[in-house]
Amino acid sequence: MEKALNRQRVLLDHLRPSSSSSFSDDSSSLSASACLAGDSAAYHRTNVFGDDVVIVAAHRTAICKSKRGGFKDTYADDILAPVLKALIEKTNLNPNEVGDIVVGTVLAPGSQRASECRMAAFYAGFPETVPVRTVNRQCSSGLQAVADVAAAIRAGFYDIGIGAGLESMTLNPMAWEGSVNPKVKIFEQAQNCLLPMGITSENVAHRFGVSRQQQDQAAVESHRRAAAATAAGKFKDEIIPVATKIVDPKTGEEKPVTISVDDGFRPNASLSDLAKLKPVFKKDGSTTAGNSSQVSDGAGAVLLMKRSVAEKKGLPILGVFRTFAAVGVDPAIMGVGPAVAIPAAVKAAGLELDDIDLFEINEAFASQFVYCRNKLELDPEKINVNGGALAIGHPLGATGARCVATLLHEMKRRGKDCRFGVISMCIGTGMGAAAVFERGGHTDELCNARKIETNNLLSKDAR
C-alpha cells in the first residue's frame, strides 16, 4: 500500500499548480515536466511494485545429433525430465507451487507427446496436482511456451510456472501423415506452406542475393564460436547432465553414459571444407548440409514467477521477461521472420535496436540468418556470441527454451555491460517470433530504458 501511495504522490506532484499561478489566471494552472517514465509509455516498468515476470532459473540438456548423437537411444520423456527436475532442485522450490508446465514440441503426435510430457513431470517429482500442456508453433514452440507462461502470470492465473521445450528428431522425423487437401492448389500461399524448408532457404538466398560464400562463412563462424564457448566452459551453468544409454547398433550392447556436452559442433570447420559440399535442395542452389541447421535431440526448461514471489523466496533473478511478438510473413521465404518479429518485439518494449546488447537468432539456415542480420543492420559481435544452430543444432520444439538459457546465462556473465537481450527465430509456414529480456540485476525503479536528453515534455509515444 505504501508503494501505491507513493506513486500517487509522484503523480500529484506533476499535476499540482505552480505557486505563482491561480485557477483564475489565463495561463495554465499546471506546470509540465519531462515524463519520468522515460521515452516510451509502452515500456512496462513494474518491478517497483513486484508485479513483473522474472526468470529465476533456465537450463537445458546438451543438444545432440539426431540418430547418431548422445540421445539416439533415449526416450523423449527421459530427455525432458532432468531439466524439469533441475529447476526444482536448484531453487529449492516446492513443486506443489507450480501453476502450470507448458512444453513446446513440434514433430511428435500431439496426444502422445502430451502424455510423454505429463510422464516426464512425474519422473521429475511433480505431484499430480500440477497440470501440463503442450504448445506447437513450429520452431518457436519453446519460446512460445515461455511467453504463454509469462502471459498467464501477468493475467493472474498463477504466480509460478514453467515454460519448456522438447524434441527428439531421432524418434519423430519430419514427415506429413495422410493426404493433402487438393484445395491447396488454388491458394498459392497455402501451397507454399508445404514447401520443404530447404527450398525456402534457397528462395531467400536467391531473392535477396545471399551468396554461398556468405552462408558458408556464417556456418564456420558459428562452429568456431560454439567450440570456443564449450572449451571455455561457458555452457556448464546452463547444461544439465543426463544419465542415459548408448546402444551398439551391431551388437545391441547397452552402455551407460552421461551426456553433458553438445555433440554437433565441428571445431575444425573451414570454408574450404564447406565449399566441397553439394547443394541439397536445388541443383544449382547454395543451401548445403554444412550451412543448414542440424537435426537434433534435446530439451530446455525455464522457471518463471511474479517478482514479488521470487523476492519473498529470496531467489536470485536471472532475467526479466519484457515482451513477445509473433508475426506472419510470406511462407515461400519463411526465413525472413526474425527481420519482422524483432522490430515488433523491441518496439513493444519501448526500445530501439541499438538498445539491445545481445541477440540469439536461430540459425535455421545460413541464408536466412545472414539476411536478417543484414536487413536489421545488426552488429555481428552481438549475435549468437556462443554459436548458433548451425553448430549446436536445432531440436525444433526445444530451441526457444535453449536460447533463453543460453542468452540469460551469457547476460549474467557480462554483468552491468549487458542489459537487454533478444531471442528470435523463423517459423515454418511463414512466421517469425521474438522476445525481449532484461538482465535481472539491471532494472531500475523510477527511470525507463533510456533517459530523455531534451525537455520535450512528452514520451515519444504521445507525439
Active site residue 418: no
pLDDT tens, 73-83? 999 999 999 99
pLDDT average, residue stretch 197-218: 97
* Annotated catalytic residue, options 35, 64, 139, 372: 139
Residue 44 a catalytic site member: no
pLDDT at position 6 is 73
Q: Is the pLDDT of residue 23 over 70?
A: no
The predicted model gives 67-74 an average pLDDT of 97
Sign of CA dihedral 268, 272, 273, 275: positive
The dihedral through the CA atoms of 441, 420, 428, 389 has a sign that is negative
Alpha-carbon span 52 to 150, nearest angstrom: 9
Q: What is the mean pLDDT of residues 351-358?
A: 97
Q: What is the mean pLDDT of the chain?
A: 90
Is the pLDDT confidence value at 44 over 70? no
Q: What is the CA radius of gyration of the chain?
A: 24
pLDDT attached to residue 27: 43
Instruction: Tell how strand 296-306 and strand 319-328 pair up.
Output: unpaired
Identify the residue whose cell numbers are 536466412: 368
Residue 46 has pLDDT above 60, yes or no: no
| d(C-alpha 225, C-alpha 194), whole Å | 33
Give the three-class secondary structure for 163: strand
Q: Greater confidence, 46 or 425?
A: 425
- Provide the pLDDT for residue 13: 72
Task: Please report which confidence band the pLDDT of residue 444 belongs to, taking 50, 70 and 90 as the band edges.
Answer: low
118, 133 contact by CB (below 8 A) = no
**162-176, 216-230, 373-387, range with the lowest pLDDT:** 162-176
DSSP reduced 3-state for 54: strand
Contacts of 31 (CB under 8 A, 6+ apart): 16, 17, 18
**Residue 279 or 32, more confident:** 279
**pLDDT class for 22, splitting at 50, 70, 90?**
very low
Q: What is the pLDDT of residues 75-123, one digit of tens each?
A: 999 999 999 999 999 999 999 999 999 999 999 999 999 999 999 999 9
> Mind listing the pLDDT tens digit for each residue in 379-416?
999 999 999 999 999 999 999 999 999 999 999 999 98
Phi-psi region of 268 (alpha: psi -120 to 50; beta: other; left: phi over 0): alpha
In this structure, what are the phi and psi dihedrals at residue 46, rounded to the nearest 5 degrees?
-125, 10
Of 162, 158, 150, 163, the C-alpha closest to 44 is: 150
pTM of the model: 0.87
Of all residues in the chain, the percent with pLDDT exceeding 70 is 86
Which ranges of 105-244 does DSSP label H, i.e. alpha helix? Answer: 110-123, 141-155, 188-192, 197-208, 212-231
Q: Is 394 a catalytic residue?
A: yes
Supply the pLDDT for residue 191. 96
pLDDT at 177: 84
Q: How confident is the model at residue 203 (pLDDT cuts 50, 70, 90)?
A: very high
Q: Give the separation between CA 165 and CA 187, rounded to whole angstroms.
A: 32
Whether 70 shows a pLDDT value over 90: the answer reads: yes
Q: What is the pLDDT of residue 454?
A: 56
Given a contact cutoff of 8 angstroms between Cβ atoms, the answer to whether 307 and 52 are in contact is yes
Decide if pLDDT at 364 tops 50.
yes
With 80 as the cut, is the pLDDT of residue 207 above it? yes
pLDDT of residue 34: 41
Residue 290 has pLDDT above 60, yes or no: yes
C-beta pairs of 438-441 under 8 Å, 24+ apart in sequence? 438/319, 438/320, 438/322, 439/319, 439/320, 439/408, 439/411, 439/412, 439/415, 440/54, 440/55, 440/316, 440/317, 440/318, 440/319, 440/320, 440/412, 441/317, 441/415, 441/416
> Which one of 44, 59, 223, 394 is the catalytic residue?
394
d(CA 45, CA 317): 16
The grid coordinates listed for 85 are: 527436475
Among 35, 372, 418, 426, the active-site one is 426
d(CA 432, CA 188): 20
Write the DSSP assignment of 260-319 as a string of letters: -S-----TT--HHHHHTSPPSSSTT----STTBPPPEEEEEEEEEEEHHHHHHHT----E
pLDDT in tens, 170-202: 999 888 888 999 999 999 999 999 999 999 999
Question: Of the given ranges (26-30, 156-160, 453-457), which has the lowest mean pLDDT?
Answer: 26-30
| pLDDT tens-place string over residues 311-348 | 999 999 999 999 999 999 999 999 999 999 999 999 99
